[in-house]
Amino acid sequence: MASGAIEAVRGHWPEYLIEAAGLALFMISAGAFGTLLEYPQSPVRGMLPDPLVRRALMGIAMGATAIGLIYSPWGRQSGAHFNPAVTLAFSRLGKVAPWDGVFYVIAQFVGGLAGLLAISAVLGNAFRRPPVEFVVTVPGSAGPLIAFLAEFAISCGLMLAVLYTSNRIRLMRYTGLFAGALLAGYITVEAPFSGTSMNPARTVASAAPSGVWDGVWIYFLAPLLGMLIAVDAYRLLTGRTGVICAKLNHITHRRCIFRNCGFKEHAIDVPRLVEGRSRSNTGAQAFD
């Protein structure tokens, strides 16, 4: 292993473990709620025959899970990416060092699979067999092209929302809420087209143990392209060439490992700044 990789692991291993644990918890939540809502013998499934209502409840559950992870102490330290496409988008913006990007992505894939296997061991065949079937994400009845376009659109929209809100002082504390709300809405409306992944590691976590790899290329290519296009769209719409930091939630005193963090550069106390009581105005105008 190269010396740079060794130094990255020694210095930033807590963040790597957090990224793995975060996606593991997300997959555990997806498996638990997916089984509760879709397993034919589940009492909740029997009370809710309308698939739209079940998708809405699944969306609320997963949106709340994402919000909880983003605002948790762990999420505030690692940046709460939990998604290779998010990490690579911030890498393109120059905020994630190369080795950090590599280990974030590896951790996300490993963590997602670990969480999926854990919930599978607990729930057994109720989780493993159709219709739950490891909560796989596969193209819907409209076909792979529509699934690709849907994944591209929702991934682009999510990343645009994250970039816009996390780079404005008045909105940055709500970035996690916007992201969670979007995820909830996407699952409710878009899931029939692609399963609403937006995350290659999330799709692989379900595909590996189930053996269902239908359209897997969609879930690698569409989220990455969508989020990278969002980076360019953000630059075009705002006229900015960069962003403050790669954290979805920087309202914290926990350390930040990302490159050229705007908060560290300007020595800004983020929690107090958001409440209008910053000890220093240096550089604040750059974040308006």
Does residue 151 form part of some domain?
yes
Task: Report residue 271's pLDDT band, with 50, 70 and 90 as the boundaries.
Answer: low
Segment 89-138, tens digit of pLDDT: 999 999 999 999 999 999 999 999 999 999 999 999 999 999 999 999 99
Judging by beta carbons within 10 Å of its beta carbon (0-12, 13-18, 19+), is residue 40 exposed, middle or buried? exposed
Residue 2's pLDDT is what? 82
279 pLDDT above the threshold of 50: no
Task: Report residue 270's pLDDT band, with 50, 70 and 90 as the boundaries.
Answer: low
Rounded to two decimals, the pTM is 0.92
Does residue 270 form part of some domain?
no
Residue 267's pLDDT is what? 54
Does residue 283 form part of some domain?
no
280 pLDDT above the threshold of 80: no
Q: At what angle do helices 98-123 and 3-38 cross, to 10 degrees?
A: 30
76 pLDDT above the threshold of 50: yes
Cα–Cα distance measured from residue 110 to residue 22, given in angstroms and rounded to the nearest whole number = 11
Query: The domain containing residue 94 runs over which residues?
Result: 3-260
Number of separate domains in the chain? 1
**CATH no. for residue 192?**
1.20.1080.10
Does residue 207 form part of some domain?
yes
Segment 13-64, tens digit of pLDDT: 999 999 999 999 999 999 999 999 999 999 999 999 999 999 999 999 999 9
Does residue 277 form part of some domain?
no
Segment 256-266, tens digit of pLDDT: 999 988 886 55
Residue 149's pLDDT is what? 98
Does residue 125 form part of some domain?
yes
78 pLDDT above the threshold of 50: yes
Residue 252's pLDDT is what? 85
Please report, in angstroms and rounded to a whole number, the separation of the first and last CA atoms in the chain: 42
Does residue 94 form part of some domain?
yes
Segment 194-239, tens digit of pLDDT: 999 999 999 999 999 999 999 999 999 999 999 999 999 999 988 8
Does residue 279 form part of some domain?
no
81 pLDDT above the threshold of 90: yes
